Structure formats: structure tokens, C-alpha cells
Amino acid sequence: MAGIFISYRRDDSAASAGRLYDRLAHHFGKEQVFRDLDAIAPGAEFAKVIEERISQCDVLVAVIGKNWVNVKNAAGQRRLEYPEDSVRAEVREALNQKKLVIPILIGGAEVPKTEQLPSDIAALAGRNAIEISESRFDYDAGRVIEAIEKAGVAAKLVAEAAPRESQGWQAAVTSETNQRTWKFIGGGITALAAGIWTLYVHFSDKEPTPISGPTIVAKQGSIAAGGDVNVTAGGDINIGLSPTEFEEWRRKLKDEAITELSLEFAKEKQADQEKITALELKIKKAEADLRFPEEASAKYNATLANADQSLQDIAPDVPEEVLTQARESLVKGDTAKAEQLFEQALGTDTKRAAEAAFQLGELALSKIDYIKARRYYLEAARLQPDNADYVNKAGRINHEMGRYPEALSFYEKALAIREKTLGPNHPDVAVSLNNLAGLYHDLGLYAKVEPLLQRSIKILEKSLGPDHPDLAVCLNNLATLYYTQGQYAKAEPLYQRSLKIGEKTLGPESTHVAVRLNNLAKLYYDQGKYAKAEPLYLRSLAIFEKVLGPDHPHVAANLSNLAGFYFAQGQYAKAEPLYLRSLKIREKTLGPDHPDMAASLNNLATVYYAQGQYAKAEPLYLRSLKILENILGPDHPHVAANLNNLAELYQEQGQYAKAEPLYLRSLKIWEKALGPDHPHVAVSLNNLATLYYNQGRYAKAEPSYQRSLEIWEKALGSDHLDVANTLEGYADLLNKMGRFKEAASLRARGEGIRKKHVAANRVGNAEK
């Protein structure tokens, strides 16, 4: 039975609906998420299937784009005016049956007003909506999942999702009648992206000038256009870290951020949202740098080289011995002494203070400290509001941290400064246009994005030529816009051209080319063109293997992604060896107790569990649990989810003595983390009740059913189908205990709830 019904208009939000479907299907299981495009068999009667599916679902998710209300038919009339309009019929059925209806607003759309809607779906206007932004899709989709789960619906759903690599950790709920279990899906980095929106920011106008003493340059020489700074190669002293040293540092920063983020979520008091955002960005940035360590380390070292140069400019009165010590520290990648000198310069004249603030921001960002970097960038822009580089960087940091109104103001100012000082056709103007387009894209204001990108592309083609890497980035961004809008025919040639430029300028085996191959593969995958997607995924993997080596952690991530691609199609024989290899690489390179190891172990265990190979799944779940306990502590909600996975495995095999303590411990963690009346607590109680029922321990099963029933009624109301399910399970228990009269009463009540839903369904059908 499909628990979630996704309603959308193909002309309005097909791409967004497809992406949301993928996320919900991954979390709850494909069989529990219905979308007409994929789920209706050829030749089936569309209207009849829709009616039946809605009667079976628990929640309808109405995906609403800007044109949802005003989409017209061939005659030029609004489709909503016709009762037989499929979207209108879907929403009407769900409202009539008193289903949970959640409007999902895409691309800056607003909840339709009552006067815009036919009377039979006017109630939609009063429903609380959730906005989804492209840039924050994972976060916003998580809010949708949370809303469904808070209503208790998730406890009914059966998760059979492909174990796929994701950003961080995800918990998903599964259940059957009288058996409700949490599934925990491992995470890690992801190389699969629906187009990568690249923001080019802050091109330094400064070239290093001769200074007294040895010349300090960045290790690895200069950075390709599109980076933040350019440093002349050559000189006497190499500054900064080698790629290997840089990788080790970035992994350490990522692991620290994962732990800190988990602790932040585990706090009893309200979490610091700005800190959470900064930590999430830190993890993503570390992952991105680890994907391209050569380039990222060169960029970091260039930042240090620029800091060294700025020290000469802003600290002329500093004793030579102090300055030399600061520079020597920079050579080793130690920025503390340089930062002290920059801090001192903040109290000097405006221009020097602004540059000092900017360099402090650069150094903070090089350490992926977004909160500190933002503070310094804002100070630099305040001190010198006519410096386009400072203003643009202030826009960038606000953009990345989700402070969109502030980012918009800075981006617009930077664009105006560059157009005035450089002329309308300068490449830096194209950079500002691209940044502004990226922000509008994240805000869902797609109508504003396209002309900005088209102008940026024209400028770059004219000024840099038709095959420049920066042009490829803008082409990729425009393709992503069309992908988001479901205009696949427009997106494909742009992705292909961006890929071709990358192959020509960066080489066919560049890791950037590998990422673009993934973009194009994802486009084909979302259209069901698996035959076209697979070779691109395979080629991308081959590039990463050749460039990074066969045992690199990011090769492991790509292997896991490819395994997820096969798993989603039920090709377990192909998925299993890929997961195994990914696991071995991570164990070798990251160590046996790394967070990514827990992800790999869970993914592989899920494959075995799906095939009924319980003996193989058990040790993997156990080892994953041990890693999580060591990293997150014994009382973390993610540990509770893993405990339930393992308990479910034991219960499935009739090993009740092993399952019980795991269920009890999981229940205790959920109660502490979410409170005693949360639906997830009811799930755990039902798990326990099922266990006790199967053991014949009826006296222990009854209080679990009773409390579970109380939670469901409080959370969902007395007439919800989940209440009926629990009543019927409780009635079965009472029959076993010989309390037939009480059992009959509970069963009658459960049947009454079901009859109400059937009656509502008939009313809805009659109106169609």
C-alpha cells in the first residue's frame, strides 16, 4: 500500500516532483510512495488507479510551482476549472477522505488563495505549506519527511530503500501490521549530483610583487581561472601544505565537524541554528576539497601566499624580526602569528584595516570556519564599500550560509561596481552575473536566473573564447536551471557542451570531467534512461580510480553510489561486490572505526537483509552499531535506529531473547531524545508488543499496546487508520488472553474507523 501520494503538474513541477519522489522513496521505500508517472502500469485506467491509490494512502503531498494555478489547456482555459482535471481530482479526493495534505511550494510559489481555487478544493488554501529551495533541497526535503513522521504516518511505512550514499546520516521508519521498525541508512559523501551550481567569486587583482628576502610562493604553483586567487609559480620557498598533508587535515576537520554536529543535535536545549549551518557547510566543503585535493591544496597555499604578500603591505611598521617569524610560520601552514599582525592592523587607517579584515576572512575560510570568516568579510566590506572583491566575498559568505537577503544586497552592489569600473562586458562582470543567478536559483526565482546566465555566457564567449573552463561552468549552471524546471531537452545539450569543454581544456580524465559525467548520468537516470546513464557512471568511476588511485576514499564513495544505482533496480548481484569493495577501501584508508565505515557496513547489511541473507547481515549491523556508539555515544538517536535494525533482524529469525533488550534500549533512547509522546516511541512500543505477543508473554504485551494506542490517539486523533491498526492488534492479544468481550469491543471500534474511511472514499468517488 502506498503511504504517500505525490500530486503534481508535469507542466509546472515535474523535475521537482521527481526529485522529491527520489528522496521520499529512499527514506520510506519505493513501494510506499506513489507518483502517477512511474507507478501506473501501461494500459491501466488512469482515473480509477488514482482513486484507488488515494484511498490507500495516508498523506498527499501537493507539489505546487508558480504555474500550478494557471496552467491552461489547449483551448486556453485554466485546467483547474474542469472537475475532471487530474490534479484537482487528486486533491479533492484527499481532502474528502480527510487525508493529511501537505502543500510543497517550489520555485518561490505561494499557497493558492481561496478565490483562485474551485470550491471543492478551496480547503487547500488553509493548509500549512513547506517551501523547498534547490540549494537547500536536502534540508527542506528533510522537513517534509519530519512533517510526515510527526503526524505518525511514517510509522506505517515500509522502508526498502536502496542504501545510497548521502550527506550525513538518515533514519527511516519501516513497519508492517503490528511490527514497526526504524531503519538506519548510512551516509558519506556523494558524487552523484543533479547538476552542480558553481559560484565563481573574488578574483584577486593583485599579483605578488618582489619583496625583501626569499620569495614565498604557493606549493603546486598557480590555480586555474575560476579560483579565488592567482599566485605566480616559482621562487625560493614553498608555502603551505602538500596535497597529502592537506588531505589529512581536511579529513580531520570533517570528522571533528561530524562529531560536533552530532553533539549539537543531542543537546537538550534548543540547538544553535547558525552553528548547525556552519558545521554542515564545513562537512560539505571538506568533502569537496577531498574530491579534488591537488586543486584544493593549491588554492589553500595560494591563500597563504596572498596573506604573506598582504603582510608586507599593511604592516610596514612591524619589527622585521616579528614579520619574519610570521612569514616563516606561514611557510609551515601555521597562520596564528600572521593573524595576530592582521588583528593589530585592524586599528590602522581604513584601507589597511579593510585589507587586514579581508585577509583574516580568507584565513578563517581556509580553515572552513564560516562564522568567523563572515564576521571579517563583513568588516572589510563595511570599511571599503567600493571594493568589488570585498563586497562580492561578503555576498558569497552570506549566500553559502543561507542569508539570502544580505547576499542579494552585496551581489547587486558588486555587480554595479564592476559594471561601472570595468565596463559591461568584462569577465568579472560575468562572474557577478553568475553569482547573482546562483542566488536567484536558490531562491527559486527561475525567471530571473535564465537572462543573467545567458548574458554571462555571451560575455565569456566573447572575452574568453568558446572553450574556456569558466564558460563550461556557466553552461553547466544553465543546464541545471533547465533540469530543475524539467526542461530536459534544453538541459542535455548544455551538459554535453560543458562536458566537452572540460574534456578539451582539462583533459578527458580530469576529476572535474568525472563530476560532469555524473551530472549527465543523473539527468538520464531521472528520465529512466538507464542504458545511457550506466556507462557515464562507469566512466566517472574509472576517472576517479585513475586520478586518485583505486583505494582512495572518494573512489569508495563512487563505488557505493554505483551500487545504489544497481540496488534501486534490484540488481543485487551487481550491487553487492561494489559495496564490498567500497567497504574494503574505507577500512584500508580511513581505518576500521571511521564514521564512513558505519555507513558502508549498514549499506552492505541492507543488501543482505533484502535478500534474506540474515547470517551475513548480522555481523555488519553489529559492527556498525559499535562504531556509532564509539563516535556518537550510547544514547544518540542514530544508535537507537541501529538498535532497531538489529532487533528487527533477530525478530525476523525468531531470536526473541536477543531482540528484546535491543528494543528496550532503543525505546529508552527515543523517549529521552524525543519525549514520551512522540510517534517514534509508539513505533518502539508496537515493536515490543509484537515481540511479547509472539513469545506468548501477553501480560507484558498489553501495557505496550495500551501506551502505543494512547500516543497514536493523541498524535493523530481517534479516527486515524493507525489507531485502527493498533486497536486490531490489541484485540488479537485480548482474544489470546480469553477476554473476548473486550476484544470484540476494540475490534468493533477499529472496524468503525475503517468504515468511516470507506464511506469518505465513496463520497469522493461519487463526486468525481
Q: Which pLDDT does position 326 carry in this prediction?
A: 85
Q: Which pLDDT does position 576 carry in this prediction?
A: 94
Three cell numbers written together for 760: 469518505
- Kindly report the three-state secondary structure assignment for every residue of 702-754: HHHHHHHHHHHHHHHCCCCHHHHHHHHHHHHHHHHCCCHHHHHHHHHHHHHHH
Establish if 358 belongs to a structural domain. yes
Establish if 575 belongs to a structural domain. no
Domain termination site, one of 548, 572, 593: 548
Domain span holding position 218: 192-422
Query: In sequence order, what are the beta bridge partners of 130?
Result: 104
Q: Are residues 302 and 391 in the same domain?
A: yes
DSSP 109-160: --PPPGGGS-GGGGGGGGS--EEE-STTHHHHHHHHHHHHHHTTGGGG----
Helix (H) or strand (E) holding 70: none
Q: Are residues 228 and 353 in the same domain?
A: yes
Q: For residue 590, give the DSSP letter.
A: T
Alpha-carbon gap, residue 592 to 579, rounded angstroms:
15
- Residue 238 pLDDT class (50, 70, 90 cuts): low
- Sequence-separated (6 or more) residues with CB below 8 Å from residue 24: 4, 6, 33, 61, 141, 144, 145
- Residue 173 pLDDT class (50, 70, 90 cuts): very low
Q: Are residues 544 and 609 in the same domain?
A: no
Q: What is the mean pLDDT of residues 318-323?
A: 82
Range list of β-strands (E), 72-122 = 100-106
Three cell numbers written together for 295: 586543486
Range in 35-44, 297-306, 387-396 the model is least confident about: 35-44
Establish if 260 belongs to a structural domain. yes
Distances (CA, A) of 628 to 128, 187, 580, 639, 666: 36, 12, 20, 6, 14
CA 568 centroid distance within chain: 18
- Indicate if the pLDDT at residue 551 is higher than 60: yes
Establish if 500 belongs to a structural domain. yes
Q: Are residues 349 and 271 in the same domain?
A: yes
- Indicate if the pLDDT at residue 235 is higher than 60: no
Q: What is the mean pLDDT of residues 566-582?
A: 89
Three cell numbers written together for 152: 505518525
For helices 137-150 and 679-695, angle between their N-to-C axes, nearest 10 degrees: 60
Q: Which pLDDT does position 723 carry in this prediction?
A: 85
Q: Are residues 374 and 483 in the same domain?
A: no
Alpha-carbon gap, residue 728 to 417, rounded angstroms:
70
DSSP 3-state of 103: strand
Q: Which pLDDT does position 271 carry in this prediction?
A: 57
* Matching residue, cell 498524535: 715
Highest-scoring range by mean pLDDT, 439-453, 597-611, 613-627: 613-627
- Indicate if the pLDDT at residue 291 is higher than 80: no
Q: Which pLDDT does position 237 carry in this prediction?
A: 42
CA 601 centroid distance within chain: 21
Q: Which CATH number does the domain housing residue 539 bear?
A: 1.25.40.10
Q: Are residues 8 and 138 in the same domain?
A: yes
Handedness of CA 59, 163, 537, 224 (dihedral sign): positive
Domain termination site, one of 382, 397, 422: 422
- Residue 448 pLDDT class (50, 70, 90 cuts): very high
How do residues 509-538 score in pLDDT, each as one tens digit?
988 898 899 889 888 877 778 889 899 999
Establish if 562 belongs to a structural domain. no
Highest-scoring range by mean pLDDT, 216-220, 226-230, 646-650: 646-650
Alpha-carbon gap, residue 34 to 52, rounded angstroms:
11
Between these two residues, 268 and 568, which has the higher pLDDT value? 568
Q: Are residues 355 and 242 in the same domain?
A: yes
Q: Which pLDDT does position 36 carry in this prediction?
A: 61
- Indicate if the pLDDT at residue 432 is higher than 70: yes
Q: What is the mean pLDDT of residues 59-88?
A: 88
Alpha-carbon gap, residue 710 to 659, rounded angstroms:
24
Q: Which pLDDT does position 40 carry in this prediction?
A: 55
Q: Which pLDDT does position 697 carry in this prediction?
A: 94
Amino acid (1-letter code) at residue 167: Q
Q: Which pLDDT does position 172 carry in this prediction?
A: 26
Range in 229-243, 354-368, 423-437 the model is least confident about: 229-243
DSSP 3-state of 213: coil
Q: For residue 59, give the DSSP letter.
A: E
Q: What is the mean pLDDT of residues 534-546?
A: 93
Classify strands 237-239 and 216-218 as parallel, antiparallel or unpaired: parallel
Distances (CA, A) of 413 to 369, 445, 483: 25, 19, 29
Q: What is the mean pLDDT of residues 91-116?
A: 89
**How many Cα atoms are found within 13 Å in the side-chain-facing hemisphere of 135?**
23
Q: Are residues 297 and 206 in the same domain?
A: yes
Query: In sequence order, what are the beta bridge partners of 217?
Result: 238
Alpha-carbon gap, residue 557 to 554, rounded angstroms:
5
Domain termination site, one of 92, 120, 151: 151
Percent of the chain with pLDDT over 70: 82
Establish if 217 belongs to a structural domain. yes
Establish if 394 belongs to a structural domain. yes
Q: What is the mean pLDDT of residues 621-643?
A: 84
Q: Which pLDDT does position 515 carry in this prediction?
A: 85
Alpha-carbon gap, residue 212 to 199, rounded angstroms:
36
Q: What is the mean pLDDT of residues 228-249?
A: 59
Q: For residue 36, give the DSSP letter.
A: H
Q: Which CATH number does the domain housing residue 27 bear?
A: 3.40.50.10140
Between these two residues, 105 and 39, which has the higher pLDDT value? 105
Between these two residues, 183 and 241, which has the higher pLDDT value? 241
Q: Are residues 365 and 222 in the same domain?
A: yes
Alpha-carbon gap, residue 335 to 304, rounded angstroms:
8
| Residue 639 and residue 629 in contact, taking contact as beta carbons nearer than 8 Å | yes
Q: Are residues 390 and 495 in the same domain?
A: no
| Residue 231 and residue 221 in contact, taking contact as beta carbons nearer than 8 Å | yes
Classify strands 216-218 and 100-106 as parallel, antiparallel or unpaired: unpaired
- Indicate if the pLDDT at residue 354 is higher than 60: yes
Q: Are residues 508 and 651 in the same domain?
A: no
Range in 638-647, 724-733, 754-763 the model is least confident about: 754-763
How do residues 182-198 score in pLDDT, each as one tens digit?
233 333 322 222 233 33
Q: Are residues 114 and 36 in the same domain?
A: yes
- Indicate if the pLDDT at residue 412 is higher than 80: yes
Would the pTM of this model clear 0.75, i.e. be above it?
Answer: no
Average pLDDT over the chain, rounded to an integer: 79
Establish if 170 belongs to a structural domain. no
In the chain, the number of structural domains is 4
